[in-house]
Amino acid sequence: MLSGFNKISAQAGNCHAYFTYSYQPGLSQPEQDIYLFSDSSTGEDSSTKWEWSLGPGDFSAEQNPSFTYEPDDSGFEQVCLTIHNTGNGCTSTWCDTIRVDNLCIGARYSYTMQGNAITFIAAICGQADSINWNFGDGTSATGTDTVVHTYPATVDSYYVCMKVYLSSECQLFYPCKAIDCQTLYVYPTSVNTITQANEHVKVFPDPASSRITINTDVVDFPAQIRITDVAGNTILQSSMDNAMQQILINDLQAGIYFIQLTNGQKQNLVTRFVKQ
């Protein structure tokens, strides 16, 4: 939201620069306040050129520009419009010092993994009134920016979402919420508790010593194969163009490895195999 004060004007000739502005809630997004600036000057003609200064380092030569203010712009900004009539040499400047109140919020989360116990940490820009976590396994939590969640001891993927809201009072002026969703792959590290994660992805032989064959009946192709170790390090990447793909694993050390199949339709399938 913007509020104006300390208006300044200067001119040389029979023209007068002036502008108004309006907030565009239908166009704005979390962390972004979009305003339209309207040239309301007088004494312009067909030779008029416009020079806008919308904030430090932000300029426009349009007659009626729009501008997106980000969270870093919160504070006081001086917006100036200078008009030049090249035909009669008239020049005029109008400035308005405005305050940018970032009523919106932005939020992201990170996480750390210890087997199938995941610690989620929220990073929030702005003052949040509530935080809702959806862990992607049918459970949720509310009200904390750091939360630990334990998943089943299987190799699987979960779509985890964090939703952050402003208070109802603030939303009367600027409805706003921030949502961050990520696909999380869970890799339990105990050999005895790991099970095949997805019935639609088969790996054989398992255990294997020299090569494995990956077979799936649900992925749309082309797909990408990513093999990781139990620490999450990428060991091998390859493409998959049909339902069956062979992979050489001679160079892998003995242990447990995980296979992720992904494609452009955001399909994600995860399973595991054992290298002898």
Per-residue pLDDT tens for 13-50? Answer: 789 999 988 766 555 555 566 788 999 999 999 999 99
CATH architecture of 106-186: Sandwich (2.60)
For the domain 201-275, what is the CATH code? Answer: 2.60.40.3080
Average pLDDT, the chain: 78
pLDDT of residue 192: 44
- Closest by CA to 275, choosing from 223, 221, 220, 230, is 230
pLDDT of residue 95: 92
Percent helix, strand and coil across the chain, each rounded to 5? Answer: 5, 60, 40
Q: Give 65: exposed, middle or buried? Use CB within 10 Å, 0-12, 13-18, 19+.
A: buried
Indicate if the pLDDT at residue 174 is higher than 70. Answer: no
pLDDT, one tens digit per residue, over 111-151 is 887 777 889 988 876 667 788 999 998 999 987 889 999 98
pLDDT, one tens digit per residue, over 63-92 is 999 888 765 555 677 899 999 998 888 999
209 phi/psi in degrees, rounded to 5: -115, -35
127: region left, alpha or beta (phi > 0 left; psi from -120 to 50 alpha):
beta
Q: Is residue 226 very low, low, confident or very high in pLDDT (cuts 50, 70, 90)?
A: confident
- Residue pointed to by tokens 């000057």: 41
Domain locations along the chain: 2-100, 106-186, 201-275
Which amino acid is it at 53? S
In DSSP terms, which residues pair with 130 in a beta bridge? 165
Q: What angle do CA 83, 87, 90 make, to 5 degrees?
A: 40
- Closest by CA to 247, choosing from 255, 236, 256, is 236
- The Cα–Cα gap between 273 and 14 comes to 81
Q: Is residue 4 very low, low, confident or very high in pLDDT (cuts 50, 70, 90)?
A: very low
Share of the chain above pLDDT 70, in %: 72
Indicate if the pLDDT at residue 175 is higher than 80. Answer: no
For the domain 2-100, what is the CATH code? Answer: 2.60.40.10
Q: Do domains 106-186 and 201-275 have the same CATH topology?
A: yes
Higher-confidence position of 69 and 61: 61
Mean pLDDT over 239-265 rounds to 82
pTM comes to: 0.43
pLDDT of residue 5: 47
pLDDT of residue 147: 92
